Structure 1
Amino acid sequence: MQGISYRTFGGPEVLEYGDLPEPKLAPDAVLVKVVATAVNPVDLACRSGLLAPLLDTSFPVIPGWDVSGVVVQRGWSVDEYAVGDEVIGYVRKDWLSQGTCAQYVACPVRTLAHKPRNLGFQAASGLPLAGLTALQALRRWLGLRRGETLLVHGAAGAVGSMAVRIGVDLGARVLGASRADAAERVRALGAEPVAYEEGFAAAVRELAPEGVDAALDTVGGQALADTPPLLAEGGRLASVADGEVLSLGGLYVFVRPDPRDLADLAGLAEAGVVGVTVARTFPLERAAEAHRAAAEHPGSQGRTVVAVDWE
């Protein structure tokens, strides 16, 4: 099969296009013909070696954890999917080696759900990682409840925009922090916008004088550091971007593959609660350009996608 791989950590220039062995198929996995894979910040971190202290690596590494595609073969013990089913997946395994930026990927069934019928393959490929991160952060880690006030940092980004929409769907009042030039996008998502450039903390206190019940950080750094005083008594804090949250009494969220959560997310997409905007698409052989574009445009204007099977 054709695919992208890297044999050493580094910049986008280490990505190579060429022949790769087809993946072996475990009894509890399906072989998926990849149509598209979204590029996420974590893919850039893996490629550069930032996650090497946390995940074992077996070179050559095929990058990518997000996928949309079609089942072409089932493992012996699989009855959840049939050949021809259209699926999405957050295919994170326990080590770096066999990713989704190739013509085929072996996907454990625990990483998959049926593709939302109302999304094309390219848009659907941008749903799993960002959407699961937002869904699990709000439901599992923060336990967001109807009637509560939620603050989302980076509300215009890939994860943040999903969190805004899911928070609204859960019945919360959502304050969306972003750059001033993204305020209208945040408002359109259903949040009350708060600009970082315009006295952020004071603006939050004015909107929520008694504090916010929960805060989700997707930015890290100063935005996270400014958040604890904005919490109501008993307020909860979680970050998907900065481990410093632990020293602030909050929770660090690292998204987990979960077929039930992914199926719920697909249902939210079909209901129109969440969606994906694709801003840039590259063919498989130009995946290095896709990585560069993803680094330059982190997600507030839409996702960067590698179209393996060009639509």
Structure 2
Amino acid sequence: MQVLVTGAAGFIGSALIERLLARGDSVIGIDNCNAYYDPALKAARVARLEKLGGSFAFHKLDFADMTALETALADHQIDRIVHLGAQAGVRYSLENPAAYIQSNLVGHANMLEIARRRSVAHMVYASSSSVYGGNDKVPFSVDDRADHPVSLYAATKRADEMLSESYAHLYRIPLTGLRFFTVYGEWGRPDMAYWIFTRKILAGEPIPVFHKGEMWRDFTYIDDIIAGVLAVLDSAPADDGAVKAGGSSKPHALYNIGNNRSEKLTDLVAILEEACGMKAQIDWQPMQPGDVVRTYADIDAISRDLGYTPTTDIADGLPRFVEWYRHYHQG
């Protein structure tokens, strides 16, 4: 297949491209490599992909710019799309809401238009567990209501799902949205808690722990995420009028991708302490605006439909990240 991947320089995008190239697919990668976090890390991911061999073309551009997007793709055939690019981060959405409107709304609409104009066989796109807001019912199911976002980031991701529902209905484009639950692992994101904690523990600096540590997350290892994305990419929802996961009768499916476990934040800290060989200094902080106390993925739908089964516990995955982190920063 010829697969277009946005967010190609990102954590999940670069890991996905590695697997696509390994199985013989051709990949067109798009990323604007912005400075939300260290662009050097993004450049290193792309450089690594370019050394792998296989058919990989990378375009540095903003997919919210339709003219630039169409120009870059003019000579490329596109069979399927994995739209992972977005302005990430819950807390940053309080500081710079315009970035989220531009990337997550305008950019997503542009990718839907590309899918429509090119009549792609399937477009998979990134949503987020944040769409569930402060849901008290756990685990979170794709059948649960998701209309009370507690951050602008969450609101844009839920809006992307609704835009996709409309396009699937109007144009019968096969679309699948994936609600990711706290992805971690090698080549990860420096703005995520596990990376911040590792950096500060190794530097002997206090780590910020919010809500007195009374927070739980469904931490999902990158290899498990990629296995799920590939399974979804290869299984476009059929336009047969049958009700799909999430209650849609259009060729539009929604799935949770998580580890199906909710881990307490202080347990994450304890595993990182052991992996780093150092005790953490805790800087207790209050609950932050936009945060939620717990995330927990009900993965029955994706397990039933596609056989998805995560295999990596944080006790195994976090030490792998710490080992990678030491190697990456020691050069």
Query: What TM-score do you get using the length of structure 1 for normalisation?
Result: 0.25
Query: What TM-score do you get using the length of structure 2 for normalisation?
Result: 0.24
